[in-house]
A and B are shown apart, each in its own frame.
Chain A
Amino acid sequence: MSEHWRERKEGGGRFAIWLISRIGLRCGRGVARLCLYPITIYFYFRRPYERRVSYAFFERIDGRRPGVGKVLRHIHRFAATLLDRVFLLAESKARFDVRMHGLDELIARMQPGRGVLLLGAHVGSFEVLRAATLGHPEVKLRVVLDTQKTPALTRLLHALNPEIGLGVIDASRPGSEIVLAMSEALAEGALVTLLADRVRDAERTVAVDFFGAQALLPIAPFALGGILDVPVVLCLGLYRGGNRYDLYFEPLADALPRARSERDGAVRALAQAYATRLEHHVRLDPCNWFNWHDFWNPQGGGVDRHEPAGQLAGSDARDAA
């Protein structure tokens, strides 16, 4: 595989995202959600790689090939959370039923001069967290986000709610600046959030057991808590269909060793704890898994990049295995 996930084009493009958000804001979420059905079908046929990733993902976690319906539902869930990002930011969370879990444990760890590192993942919708803090100006939220990865969507969301743009730490900047920015925000008592399940180019990795196989996670998110002496809390916003979201906060570590000599073991243990809890939540509701690339084989070899010649879309299920 020569194509890293960072180079994958944003699905749908700028016009489609603009169109669906206009429909949504003008005609309401209900009408926009009707558009998700044709969009799901379109995505299924036009994004064969992501489709095969979905088949392979369900086969890995269920031990058998999923039916077409399951993969369609997976895509539909993804499209629905993308659409909801517009509403979560434009209209606050009033229309959504967001159930919080572990909020007290998070609040207990927040101090004025010492923030909390929140580790998320590409599951469900992280936007629920941003929306949840919008009515609370006393809570400083900084989100590490690669604005170059989904430029159209990022521009749109920031246009809808400029307050959000200010809270972004741009992950397309050099790594040293990202960690310094995180350090500065944590020193101001901010909640600093980072999606810890994707490896950037040439980044050092740590191997974890995830759904019974080895997967690689980036080291930095699991080393930062120790270096900066802040608590690390898992944060997942999972979509449950309709207008329902569950937002989970689960403490992963409160005091990590500062010394370099003890760090490697602590980083491995923390990364594994993260992977174990992530697996728990994904197993309960797999359609929230939104890593549309071959998570277990980042260098390729797992899911075919290219459409096998002469095969109809949808009948290439075997190739994903």
Chain B
Amino acid sequence: MQTATSSSPGAQSPAESELAQLIVDSLNIDWIKADAIAPDAPLFGAGELGLDSIDALELALAISKRYGFQLRSDNPDNRQIFGSLRALSAHIETHRAAS
């Protein structure tokens, strides 16, 4: 994973940890704790989280509310962006509204 973060593979950076908490809260996930989400593990499909398209939509709405920017359907990098907590967090940190 080529991201700006320099953290070790297993540990969440502060930004990733905040996003992990948002995922768990907005999607009512009770089978895994926010700090237990592996930064490089797949978010969608057959993974520990196993999110589906409806979860993606809700997550996109929650991200828009929290970080003030929209994930777009026509972004050619979507596959990568939605690929893992780390990738999604890196994307948010790059594009979030200046605060």
Contact = CB atoms under 8 A, between A and B. Distances in A.
Interface of A: 174-181, 183-184, 202-204, 219-220, 223-224, 227-228, 260-261
A213 to B, nearest CB: 26
A260 B52 CA distance: 15
Contacts of B60: 176, 180, 183
B79 A224 contact: no
A179 B53 contact: yes
B44 interface: yes
B44 A180 contact: no
A147 to B, nearest CB: 15
Given A180-B60, A203-B52, A224-B54, 18 more contacts: A174-B78, A174-B79, A176-B53, A177-B73, A177-B74, A179-B53, A179-B54, A179-B57, A180-B73, A183-B61, A219-B54, A220-B54, A223-B54, A224-B57, A227-B54, A227-B57, A227-B61, A261-B28
B78 A176 contact: yes
A179 B56 contact: yes
Task: Return the 5 tightest CB-CB contacts between A and B, nearest first.
Answer: A175-B53, A176-B56, A180-B73, A181-B73, A179-B57
B57 A183 contact: yes
Most chain A beta-carbon neighbours within 10 Å: one of B54, B72, B78, B79: B54
Interface of B: 27-28, 44-45, 52-54, 56-58, 60-61, 71-74, 78-79, 82
Contacts, number: 56
Given A203-B52, A204-B52, A260-B28, A176 B72 contact: no
Nearest to B74: A181
14 contacts: A174-B78, A175-B53, A176-B44, A176-B60, A176-B78, A180-B56, A183-B61, A220-B52, A224-B57, A227-B57, A227-B58, A227-B61, A228-B57, A260-B27
- Which of A183, A203, A219, A224 lies at the interface centre, i.e. has the most chain B CB atoms within 10 A of its CB? A183
B28 A176 contact: no
A224 to B, nearest CB: 7
B64 to A, nearest CB: 10
A184 B72 CA distance: 8
Contacts of B61: 183, 227
B28 A180 contact: no
Which among A179, A180, A181, A219 has the greatest number of chain B C-beta atoms within 10 A?
A180
Nearest to A219: B54
Instruction: Indicate the member of B52, B53, B74, B78 with the most A CB atoms within 10 Å.
Output: B53
A4 to B, nearest CB: 17
A183 B58 CA distance: 11
Nearest to A180: B73
Given A174-B78, A177-B78, A227-B58, A184 B52 contact: no
A204 B27 CA distance: 16
A230 to B, nearest CB: 12
Contacts of B78: 174, 176-177
A176 B74 CA distance: 11
Contacts of A181: 73-74
